[in-house]
Amino acid sequence: MPDSIAIVNIIWFLLALCFLIAFCLYKFSLKLPHSLEHVFQDLIRYGKTKEQIKRSNWQLVFDISKRCFYHFYAVSVMWNGLLLLFSLCSVVMKEALPDWLIDALWCLTGRPRAAWNELHLSILLLQVLLWVHSLRRLLECLFVSVFSNGVIHVVQYAFGLGYYVLLGLTVLCINSSLPQSGSLVNQLTWHHVIGTLLFIWASLLQNRSLSLLAKMRTDSSGKVETLAHKMPCGGWFELVSCPHYLAELLIYVAMSVCCGCSSLTWWLVVLYVLCNQALAAQLCHHYYRSKFETYPTQRKAFIPFVL
């Protein structure tokens, strides 16, 4: 099956398209029929942005505390840690990947089993970076972020759990489209170094931004003083409303660089992240602008000077 029409590519393209449509509907104030509009607004919003809409009692039944965000990263740490372990065993001990995993990869790509006989250095690096990213976000959710009493929809919760499962499989899918070129040491190139450096910088940006948000709710000793939403400032917040969303996008771009910018599959993942984060950032941006009269007019949503 050609890479361009592999099922994994179709899945990421459709996910990106759905969020792009949602972004356009919201950005340009396009309204759906009355009942659908209420459902649509409830599905695309979470946390503080849900405060801006009126919701029926039946919609409240599907609410889950936003504090459950850490569940996503806990699942990712376990799942992608397991996949990384399988990959290391394959490289170091020459053990084949489990049959059930090969079957799943075959379903997603249509490639023969032999496509995963040897794993490329880029794949191992992506797996390590994804696991490190998930672990950092898990620790930030547990020990840095101060969550309000906001909620997320149960559909968003279920999607978040499945997202990192699919993402881990996607990383392995990419192996079938990369050329095999000898030992892992010989495969090391400039794009692995540049991609890793960009990943580290973007991760530090995200951590710094999340720390600034948390500090707006705590005193100098770290004790929580309020759960109220305040106008963010400092760091990259002077340029955009959601620098942590920008950092998320850059993290995925960095992973694409680690693949030599040659993987169509991973660029479709990046496209999905762009559309997803653009929608979330636009919702937050409008919330801040409507809540704070002195909110800086030059500040963009999440891409400096652009969006």
What is the pLDDT averaged over residues 167-180? 89
Q: Which residue has the higher pLDDT, 113 or 73?
A: 73
pLDDT at 135 over 60: yes
Specify whether the CB–CB gap between 216 and 244 falls below 8 A: no
pLDDT of residue 59: 87
pLDDT at 300 over 80: yes
Specify whether the CB–CB gap between 236 and 209 falls below 8 A: yes
Nearest Cα to Cα of residue 205 among 164, 163, 229, 234? 234
Confidence of residue 4 (pLDDT cuts 50, 70, 90): low
Query: What one-character DSSP code corresponds to residue 151?
Result: E
186 phi/psi in degrees, rounded to 5: -70, -20
pTM equals: 0.94
Length of the chain: 307
pLDDT at 3 over 80: no
pLDDT of residue 125: 96
pLDDT of residue 2: 53
For the chain, percent of residues with pLDDT exceeding 70 = 98
Mean pLDDT across the chain: 92
What is the pLDDT averaged over residues 275-282? 96
Confidence of residue 17 (pLDDT cuts 50, 70, 90): very high
246-263 per-position pLDDT tens digit: 999 999 999 999 998 989
pLDDT of residue 176: 83
Helix (H) or strand (E) holding 65: strand 63-65
